[in-house]
Chain A
Amino acid sequence: MVVNQFGQFGALLKREIIENRNLFISTPALLAVIFFVFSIWVVSFVPSAEIAAGIEYLSLLFDGLSPLQMAPAFLLPAVPFIVTLYICAIIYLINSLYQDRKDASVLFWQSMPVSNLQTVLSKVVTICAIAPVFYVAILFVLYLLAVAMLVALGLTYNVQVAGLGYMFMASVLSLLLIYLSAITTALWLLPSIGWLLLFSAFARKTPILWAVGVFILLGFLEDFVFGSQYLANWVESRSNPQQYMFFEFTDVVERLFSYDMLFGVVVGSILISGAISMRRFID
């Protein structure tokens, strides 16, 4: 049996997806269904004339715009999905190195010839790059259905639905922007990811209380001993939700190649190394 490192890592990623299918697939899928059903329900109460006028207004609004110019408008419906992704990411990270210790299955995982480095990295890659793929894919299906509904309504009310192809292309571009935003934000928040993983690997019980409690304690200690609030200010400076959304591809590049980003990645990597060391011995 030939096993290579890529094959091993692929199997670890697959494991994460299967174990966390509720967080990565079921939750956004349910949200999409609620969104879609709610939209149809709302539309069913709107008089025909207003629907026709609305579609025409939409056509006029985007008239003459390129898909790239339209794309930011399609970010708005994605906001609930992005918020859900961040909530699910916190749940995932805090349990990722704790749950298998709690149910003792860690003994099975550790009985395989897989290093702790690979295990922890598979969790980082999962949350930074794999989980957003599912959210974006589900948003894609939702946008596809929305455009199909607009076409159907346009045909029903005999309204000219100009530029729908462009609108669809714009929605796809917006999804690409959302995916890149998610990866960039994950790197931006790498210190938080490392912090949660560290306490997920460390705590015997309630890792979320440890992660939050120790952070608050450190903040108080800094204030009490040095009279400064560097830690709190630094975290606050990286916690503005506006930093997590990019409306232009150039903004993504600008953020990725900034010193602030580099510093955060270094701090995050140190914390992730701590989680790997902590994982070494499970008792």
Chain B
Amino acid sequence: MTNIVEARSLVKRYGDFTALAGVDLSIPSGSISGLIGPNGAGKTTTMKALTGLCDVEGELEVAGRDPRSARHKLMEEVCFIADVGILPKWLKVAQVLEFVSAVHPKFVRERAEKFLSTTEIPSNKRIKDLSKGMVTQLHLAIVMAIDVRLLVLDEPTLGLDIIYRKEFYDRLLNEYYDGDCTIIISTHQVEEIETLLSHLVFIKNGRITLDSSMNNLADRYFEVVVDPDKLTAADTLEPIYTRELLGKKSYMFEDVPRQQLEPLGEVLTPTVADLFVAKMKEDHHGG
């Protein structure tokens, strides 16, 4: 499988603050990839770098182009939703569609209008008069009417209620994703997207701490509810994270064979949310 995104040693500094401290990233074509990290981890900076919206040091190629020198050409192949607030508030819904159809060669206006006809968004209203959920729906309608190779979604459902959030991902998956295009979603709400993903990337303090396909995760990470008399043996295998669970100790292991862990207690496959917490707290546990 080829990669649609290849990034090596991306560095971005804002004054004294280092937003990206050497990001290495490979996103396979056709995947639905999640870029997960806590607030301030570098998600938005990474997304902006991928779409040519901020300058970064390092090697970067997206859909065969360098976003830093060919942003507007790249945007024929890439769609980007930053968050719900970015559509210009003074435009009317119909004017947004008119503008996009005039400037984007791959926009099919009829498709966007068909999508909008299933919503309650009036075409003669200005964006500023729409609710946050409606603005997201409108942006999704625009994006879904453009045939691109890569869709970049940076916290697309931030500030939305659960109904809009669920509908957003349902429609994206059922009506847009066809296996040919690639979708990268950044969020700090792991549980919301974990079932959609085929590829997972964790970012923390401007560094990638995990970059793996979802299939590989089950072979690499195990959570063990350790029997009380096996705690010392479990510690020697260098867990990346430990926690108390209903009076029992639970250990998270990375790249330790399952056969080695089974004698220690009950071996479980961790959820993405558990893995996220473990990786984010990894430094504190000597892993």
Contact = CB atoms under 8 A, between A and B. Distances in A.
Contacts of B53: 107, 110, 281-283
Nearest to A10: B102
A116 B68 CA distance: 12
B104 A1 contact: yes
Contacts of A113: 72-76, 103-105
B21 to A, nearest CB: 17
Given A2-B105, A18-B95, A281-B54, A111 B90 contact: no
Contact of B103 (A100, A103, A105, A112): A112
A19 interface: yes
Q: How large is the interface on A (under 10, 10 to 19, 20 to 34, 35 or more residues)?
A: 20 to 34
A115 B72 contact: yes
Given A111-B51, A112-B100, A114-B103, A19 B75 contact: no
B86 interface: yes
B54 A282 contact: yes
Nearest to A21: B90
Contacts of A12: 103
A233 interface: no
Nearest to B100: A112
A196 to B, nearest CB: 21
Given A1-B105, A1-B107, A15-B99, A114 B72 contact: yes
Contacts of A14: 99, 102
Interface of B: 14, 48, 51-55, 71-76, 79-82, 85-91, 95, 98-109
Interface of A: 1-3, 7-8, 10-12, 14-15, 18-19, 100, 103-116, 118, 280-283
19 contacts: A1-B104, A1-B108, A3-B104, A3-B105, A11-B99, A15-B99, A18-B90, A19-B91, A100-B88, A103-B85, A103-B89, A105-B86, A105-B88, A107-B80, A108-B86, A111-B80, A111-B82, A280-B55, A282-B54
Given A11-B102, A110-B51, A118-B72, 10 more contacts: A1-B107, A3-B105, A105-B87, A105-B89, A106-B86, A111-B81, A112-B75, A115-B71, A281-B53, A283-B48
Question: Lowest 5 CB-CB distances: which A-B pairs, in order?
Answer: A11-B102, A113-B75, A111-B80, A107-B82, A105-B88
